[in-house]
Amino acid sequence: MMPAGCDDPGPAGERFGAGHMVDGGEGENPLEFVWSPVVMSWDLSPNDRTRMSAPVHLDPTRPVAERVEALLALMTDEQKLACLNGIPETVLADGTVLPELSNQFNEVLHGSGHHADATLFPQAIGLGATWDTDLMEAIGDVVSHETRARDTGVYAGFGPVADIRSNPLAGRFEEGFGEDPLHAAAMTTAYAWGLRGRHPDYVRVFPQMKHFLGYNHEYHRHRTSASMGVRALHEYQAVPYRKPVESGAVLGAMTSYNLVNGVPSIISPILDTLRTEWAAGGRFFFLPDGWDGVNLNTSKGAAWDTWEQPDADVPYPAALAAEDGLDLDAKETGVYASALMLHAGVSHFHDGSDLPFVPDAAEAVRRGLFGLTMDDVDRAVRDWLDFLVRTGLLDGDACEYNLIEADPHPQERPESIALALQAAREQLVLLKNEDAALPFPDTARIAVLGPLADLNLRDYYSPLVPDERRITPLQALRERLGEANLLHHSGNDTIAWQARRSGEAAPGAYVTVGEDGRLAARSETLGDTEAFEAFDWAHEQHMFRHKATGKFVMANLLHYEEGPASFANQAGASGDGGPVLLAGEEAMEDANAWFTHQNLHYRREGNAVELFGVNHVPSVPDGPFHPRLADDGSLPLTKGPAEAVLTETVVEDGPAAAAAVAAEADWAVVFVGNHPLVNARECFDRPGLDLAPRQADLVREVAAAKPGRTVVVVVSAYPLAIGAIANDPNVAAILYTSHAGQAAGTAIAEALVGDYAPAGRLTSTWLADTSSLPKPGRNHTAYRVDEVDMLEYDVIAAGLTYRYSAATPVYEFGHGLTYTSFAYGNPDFPAEVDADAPFAIEVDVTNTGERTSDEVVLVFAGHMDNGYGPGLRPQLAGFTRAKDIAPGETRRVAVAVDPRDLFVWDPARGERIVESGTYDFWVGEGPGGFETSIRVNGADLGVLDLAEARNVWEVATLNKGVTYWEISKRNTLARRGGYHSTGSRRAGDHVGLNNVDLDGATAIELRAATTTAPWADLADRVVEVRTGTPNGPVIAEIAVPVTDGVQDFTTVRAELDRAAGLKRLYLVFRCGGVYLDTIRLER
């Protein structure tokens, strides 16, 4: 920001240098801050000359930490307290003026914010499928360059997203790179380096990784708790966050909305772990996820097993006070919430609301709540000052990123356009290609079919790149092959609606569109003005396009003041009176539309149809909107249940019509998939894995009409259950793409005609159905999302992802074909390595086919003789993408492997270890790869000594069915450890403790509690103590009395029978609703 009076920046292209103070004489402002062109020469040698001319805080040659401490020492307490929500322009004690650093951040998921003048790259799940870390860093470079060049004063970005995708129904699935922690960590790290740049001190854009930790569900996300055991936390969930921080690429993180094991992420002790154990120098910038400060202030305090919306929505501060027997005044919850965030080490106290978090934090410090002092404020201010120094705002041209020229249209750079196309190409995954069906022959006449053939859709966090810069597959194929070689049909049904009045047997007038755009049942004839094209997006979600005008049907709810529609921001609707249906916009709604008003819930029941709701969610508080049939034929929308007032007539059967078109062509390509704002997106988890029914019909009917010459392109933000398509012998090939950005259509067309050979690999398991996903417990209210338990994050216990699932997938993690074949040979690897010594596996990769292609080389490793037993399966150990290997060419490829990535969690030590032993390694996929073994010298799992009481969650590593909650809020606040209790949901749930020393043990002692929730049948409140397996010999039975809730623990004990040796010890619950805090063995 240029101070007033500084109109001339100096010579063209020159940037300002460091600020300094001059004596302005007497008067109201005796000191005047003057910006001057750079006068310091950073080429001078030695640098001592610079140090002599600048104080520490303005000296670019000094370490960032020294400069931060120097700045902090010049600030008053009042100035520090003003910096919890950004840095205002501040005059320091020596007269230095700190420039303003606002709290504004840019979305950088796969482009630079919600801007039209930005490059739109593929969704993150697609970028993951590239397996190309160099590409990821280059994309980060472009995104951060465009953010800087736009010169909006934004220096930080919300990204990368390190959230791991363990459940395919996650609403924001497309924002993650995939289901493997090592892969996600590598892609996150590379993108973060691109965003920040490789300068050791300065950042082009300050990367704010999100969402820390355990955020993979949308179901009541700000109230519900992600449940995971200690091994699942350390071996899986934490990895993609930890490694980017340890590398130095990531300097900040957004916390997740939800709770983890009963503790709100925004105040969790794991923030301390990241800051003190993972981050260099203990500096790390934490900010709350959107609105989460408000959520802490209003919710998060109720126990999971008693929560029912909305009566038990308890503010966390109130629940904390209740533990001390206090009834907290509602006006005090803000002070307490701010105190909790400051105590936890949160850096940023703004969340988009009007709540006074900064003054509340100041009040909390003044009172000394929870022992707060100005030292806690200093910690937060250091984070902001570190951010400020790294932006280069104090240093002029000494910061190379300040030399980026202002450019209102940075997306027009040739390198950005080329990179978008490269990314769209590399993310393509060839799932099936029978008899080398693809690429198409040069002279083929192609039928281009399906609802996504002529669409290129954006998701919510996409840049707002306009239609003319987003190429559809149909457009690209027309340009490449010519109009004469193409046929086209959307495959969508064309339908008409007629009025249906109660008590009348015959249907009434047809629904048409009036001059005002409103829908009404007033036409006695059926023509184009009464016809609508129906887009089936699955799970009864549809969009309808009016055939005569090309406009989409939508609910004009923008002006409606009740319910969530009042928060709509980009729908563009208008109108007077109550809400109605109208044909409003020619463009299909996508991108920055929080409420997709074109997405309507459409249910067929016999000949009648229900048309209701918006966004797959009811409009609270009275249920979804339904059309009513007024006497004049108008269709006003009102809330609440209603009788169906419409019947459906199919004007054209879309799949049948598309099949007829396919029959006239040499080949058919069918584009099916999802709309990125429908069914699964922020706030909504996906109800199931199925492809839309009419899209499935379309594929089946076209393939039957063109057997062996039908290609399916799946355009999707998430895995789909496409087993029927994969196994259909009439389907010759399947190509997968994410919603791949501005160049998606071009890349797909190139792959189909053979200009480019797809070589990506899946980063997620594509299941046949949801049967292997965890089912909800008896507490359906808190757990149910369709029929899947979205809050089960223990991938080991629940059997999720390729590493732990027993399900047979349609397509497995790492699957991907190409248009050629590869052979691996002449491997070179060490026979033995130390656990802390990274090494490389080298191999010759030979293209034995006839087309140039990339090859993604994957290395998996498995330790079959491990301390936890056969449940540990091979895991990804390394990967690289070898580019453009020509036919007949042999390329020497090296894959880096770090044995430390093969760690397990050792509860005896409370740390990660790499077990000693012989590890099997698999290099390459398919018949061209090879297998070998390497000896790794590491450690053995320690012996678990329970002579002192240990928290069960911290030591139980072989668990099934259990859930976890907070021991007490006071304990969390005190940072004493042992934060989580372990609770049963059903009879037979159990926890297992590995390597327990039972010699000399005579009794076992537990601290236990029981729920007060009505779902629990507590008649058989017994914990069985077994050895060996969950069905092994019973050596004790412990009766648990009824307590006053899950945080009211009592001590119970029992004598041990035949306890001896080093054994696995299992605690098996006979009923649901029993919680354990600690375990101890008496000797």
Domain ranges for the chain? 416-491+654-766, 493-652, 822-937, 950-1082
**Residues 860 and 930 sit within 8 Å (Cβ to Cβ):** no
The two structure tokens encoding residue 221: 């996300």
The two structure tokens encoding residue 891: 């390329």
The Cβ of residue 1039 has, within 10 Å, a number of other Cβ atoms equal to 12
| Record: fold of 416-491+654-766 | Rossmann fold (3.40.50)
**Residues 84 and 377 sit within 8 Å (Cβ to Cβ):** yes
Identify any residues that bridge with 853 across adjacent strands, giving them in sequence order: 885
Structure confidence at residue 703 (pLDDT): 99
This prediction's pTM: 0.92
DSSP, collapsed to helix, strand or coil, labels residue 706 as: coil
Burial of 1032 (0-12, 13-18, 19+ CB in 10 A): middle
Residues of the chain below pLDDT 50: 1-50, 307-310, 559-575, 615-621, 779-785
CA dihedral 611, 612, 617, 621 (to 10 degrees): -170
**Residues 920 and 862 sit within 8 Å (Cβ to Cβ):** yes
Distance CA 689, CA 768 (A): 8
Distance CA 376, CA 824 (A): 57
Distance CA 422, CA 437 (A): 24
- Among the four given CATH numbers 3.10.129.10, 3.40.50.720, 2.80.10.50, 1.10.10.10, the one describing domain 493-652: 2.80.10.50
The CATH class, in words, for 822-937 is mainly beta
Distance CA 140, CA 197 (A): 8
Residue type, 369: L
Structure confidence at residue 565 (pLDDT): 38
Structure confidence at residue 67 (pLDDT): 98
**Residues 830 and 839 sit within 8 Å (Cβ to Cβ):** yes
Half-sphere exposure of 1035 (CA within 13 A, CB side): 24
Nearest to 839 by CA among 941, 927, 921: 921
DSSP, collapsed to helix, strand or coil, labels residue 317 as: helix
Burial of 606 (0-12, 13-18, 19+ CB in 10 A): exposed
Distance CA 320, CA 993 (A): 31
**What is the phi-psi region of residue 561: left when phi exceeds 0, alpha when psi lies from -120 to 50, beta otherwise?**
alpha
Structure confidence at residue 559 (pLDDT): 46
Residue type, 812: E
Nearest to 256 by CA among 298, 296, 283: 296
CATH of domain 950-1082: 2.60.120.260
- CB within 8 A of 1067, min separation 6: which ones? 952, 956, 990, 991, 992, 993, 1006, 1023, 1024, 1025, 1076, 1079
Helix (H) or strand (E) segment spanning residue 190: helix 181-196
DSSP, collapsed to helix, strand or coil, labels residue 944 as: strand
Nearest to 339 by CA among 364, 368, 367: 364
Half-sphere exposure of 349 (CA within 13 A, CB side): 29
